[in-house]
C-alpha cells in the first residue's frame, strides 16, 4: 500500500522514545485553557528530560515565544483564538524547521487530521489518550520519529483505502462499452441470458461473453455484486 508521503511517514513502529541521558528538551505548551496548560506542565515537570520554557494561550503569542525561546518541541492544541493551530504549525515550521510539533486535540475528523499533517505536524494525539501514550509520543517525536494516536492512524488507513477503492471502481466503470452497460442494465433487472439474447437479437454465447467481460473489467465475481454496482451507478433503480 502506497500512502501519500506526508501521511506515510507517520506509519512507523513507535518505540519507547529512547532513554534519558541527561539532555534537557526545551518545550513550549500552547493551549487556551489554563487548567489544561497547568495539567500538562505538572505532568511533564515530573520527567527530568523536559524543561518547560514557555506557555502560550493562542497561536500569535506562541509564534513570538518560539522565535525568542527556540524550543525543541511545541505541544499545541488546534482550536485556539486569533490563530488556528494548523496555520500556527505551518508558521512554526517556516520559522523554525528543526522545532518538533505535536498536536494535542479532540478532533478526530480525517480532513482535520490531514490538514494538520500537511501543515508540518510531527505528531497527532487525542486528548482522551492516557498520560503514558502522551509521554511515548513526545519521546518518539523528539527522537526524530513521528506519532499518530492509534485511532487516528486507523481512520486514515480506512479513509485512504476507501478512496482508492472508489477511484478504482470509477476507473473500471469508464472502460465499459455501450453494449456492456446495456447488458448490465438487463442483468440487474433480472433478465436471463436467453431473454437478453432475444431482446438484443444476439446469440446467448455473445451474452455470455459480455457477462464475462463485465465481471473481468469490474473485478466482480457474482450477479448480486453486478446488481449492487448497477444500483450505485444509477443503471437500475433500487
Specify the number of domains making up the chain: 2
The x, y and z cell numbers of residue 165, run together, are: 477503492
Q: Which residues contact 104 (CB under 8 A, 6 or more apart)?
A: 31, 40, 75, 76, 77, 125, 126, 127, 134
- Tens digits of residue pLDDT in 189-238: 888 889 989 888 999 999 889 888 888 887 777 778 777 777 766 665 44
Identify the three-state secondary structure at position 33: coil
25 close to 70: Cβ distance less than 8 angstroms: no
Q: What is the CATH number of the domain that holds 178?
A: 1.10.10.10
pLDDT value for 10: 58
- Domain final position from 111, 127, 152: 152
Q: What is the mean pLDDT of the chain?
A: 80
- Domain final position from 113, 129, 152: 152
Q: How far is CA 224 from CA 33, 107, 208, 217, 237, in A?
A: 54, 38, 16, 16, 14
Asked if residue 87 is part of any domain, the answer here is: yes
The single residue listed with the C-alpha cell 459480455 is 210
What CA–CA distance (Å, rounded) separates 224 from 218?
13
Judgement on whether residues 33 and 135 belong to the same structural domain of the protein: yes
pLDDT value for 155: 60
What CA–CA distance (Å, rounded) separates 24 from 21?
9
Angle at which helices 204-218 and 193-200 cross, to 10°? 110
What CA–CA distance (Å, rounded) separates 36 from 32?
8
pLDDT value for 181: 81
What CA–CA distance (Å, rounded) separates 208 from 67?
71
Asked if residue 238 is part of any domain, the answer here is: no
Residue 169 has pLDDT above 90, yes or no: no
Residue 2 has pLDDT above 50, yes or no: no
User: How many residues in the chain?
Assistant: 238
Judgement on whether residues 145 and 190 belong to the same structural domain of the protein: no
- Domain final position from 100, 118, 152: 152
- Tens digits of residue pLDDT in 104-123: 988 887 777 888 888 999 99
Judgement on whether residues 94 and 49 belong to the same structural domain of the protein: yes
Burial class from Cβ neighbours inside 10 Å (0-12, 13-18, 19+) for residue 167 reads exposed
Q: Which residues pair with 29 in a beta bridge?
A: 55, 75
Q: Which domain holds residue 29?
A: 5-13+24-152
What CA–CA distance (Å, rounded) separates 146 from 223?
45
Judgement on whether residues 171 and 215 belong to the same structural domain of the protein: yes
Residue 29 has pLDDT above 70, yes or no: yes
- Residue 7: pLDDT band (50, 70, 90) is low
32 close to 57: Cβ distance less than 8 angstroms: yes
pTM score, two decimals? 0.60
| The dihedral formed by the CA atoms of 91, 96, 97 and 99, expressed in degrees to the nearest 10 | -100
pLDDT value for 238: 45
Q: What is the CATH number of the domain that holds 130?
A: 3.40.50.2300
Judgement on whether residues 118 and 37 belong to the same structural domain of the protein: yes
Judgement on whether residues 35 and 145 belong to the same structural domain of the protein: yes
Q: What's the whole-number mean pLDDT along residues 170-187?
A: 78
Amino acid at each position: 500500500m502506497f500512502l501519500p508521503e506526508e501521511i506515510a511517514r507517520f506509519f512507523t513502529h513507535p518505540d519507547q522514545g529512547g532513554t534519558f541521558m541527561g539532555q534537557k528538551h526545551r518545550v513550549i505548551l500552547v493551549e487556551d485553557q489554563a487548567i489544561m496548560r497547568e495539567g500538562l506542565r505538572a505532568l511533564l515537570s515530573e520527567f527530568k528530560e523536559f524543561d518547560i520554557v514557555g506557555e502560550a494561550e493562542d497561536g500569535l503569542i506562541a509564534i513570538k515565544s518560539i522565535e525568542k525561546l527556540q524550543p525543541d518541541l511545541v505541544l499545541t492544541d488546534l482550536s485556539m483564538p486569533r490563530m488556528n493551530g494548523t496555520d500556527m504549525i505551518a508558521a512554526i515550521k517556516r520559522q523554525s524547521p528543526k522545532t518538533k510539533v505535536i498536536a494535542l486535540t479532540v478532533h478526530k475528523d480525517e480532513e482535520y487530521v490531514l490538514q494538520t499533517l500537511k501543515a508540518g505536524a510531527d505528531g497527532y494525539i487525542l486528548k482522551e489518550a492516557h498520560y503514558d501514550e502522551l509521554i511515548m509520543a513526545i519521546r518518539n517525536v523528539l527522537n526524530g520519529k513521528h506519532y499518530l494516536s492509534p485511532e487516528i492512524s486507523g481512520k486514515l488507513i480506512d479513509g485512504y483505502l476507501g478512496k482508492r477503492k472508489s477511484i478504482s471502481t470509477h476507473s473500471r466503470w469508464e472502460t465499459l462499452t455501450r453494449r456492456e452497460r446495456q447488458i448490465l442494465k438487463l442483468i440487474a433487472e433480472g433478465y436471463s441470458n436467453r431473454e437478453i439474447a432475444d431482446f438484443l437479437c444476439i446469440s446467448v454465447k455473445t451474452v455470455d461473453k459480455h457477462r464475462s467481460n463485465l465481471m473481468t473489467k469490474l473485478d466482480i465475481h457474482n450477479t448480486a455484486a453486478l446488481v449492487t454496482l448497477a444500483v450505485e451507478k444509477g443503471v437500475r433503480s433500487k
